């Protein structure tokens, strides 16, 4: 898939998941099915962000494309492609996603509901829908990035 098409699809998925989360954020209480929908939409959004970070680095010839999701976000931050706030929010989101997936027996649904109600997913959405528009300096940093 060409990079432009990939970014287009990333934005499309982000919009679809945001619609679900926006609808759920309006509800006073979420039933079990709605909680599952919120969980799925948020997980998809976070994984979409991880994929975008890795794809951006690869497309712009980063010599080290990370396997770990947190590293992709760290690289983007180190290079100067994302600001401190975006970095912090994405790292928190990835940690939350890991909790949803790996600690499902002890998963705290109240945190998920809070994320939906407070619309914290908007920060992930903004990252996903932002077009890469990097300076020559940033592009050089990507191509010369070393861990």
For domain 3-143, give the CATH number: 1.20.120.580
pLDDT of the chain, 147 residues: tens digit per residue: 799 999 999 999 999 999 999 999 999 999 999 999 999 999 999 999 999 999 999 999 999 889 899 999 999 999 999 999 999 999 999 999 998 888 767 788 999 999 999 999 999 999 999 999 999 999 999 999 987
Write down the pTM of the prediction.
Answer: 0.93
Domain boundaries, the chain: 3-143
Degrees to nearest 5, angle at CA 138 with 136 and 139: 65
């Amino acid at each position: 898939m060409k990079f432009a098409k990939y970014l287009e699809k990333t934005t499309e998925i982000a919009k679809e998941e945001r619609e679900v989360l926006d609808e759920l954020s309006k509800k006073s209480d979420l039933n079990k099915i709605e909680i599952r929908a919120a969980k799925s939409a948020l997980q998809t959004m976070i994984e979409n962000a991880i994929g975008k970070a890795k794809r951006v680095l690869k497309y712009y010839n980063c010599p080290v494309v990370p396997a770990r999701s947190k590293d992709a976000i760290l690289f983007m931050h180190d290079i100067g492609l994302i600001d401190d706030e975006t970095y912090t929010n994405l790292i928190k989101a990835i940690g939350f996603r890991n909790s949803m997936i790996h600690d499902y027996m002890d998963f705290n649904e109240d945190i998920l509901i809070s994320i939906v109600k407070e619309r914290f997913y908007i920060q992930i959405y903004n990252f996903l829908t932002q077009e890469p528009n990097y300076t020559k300096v940033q592009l050089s940093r990507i191509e010369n990035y070393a861990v």
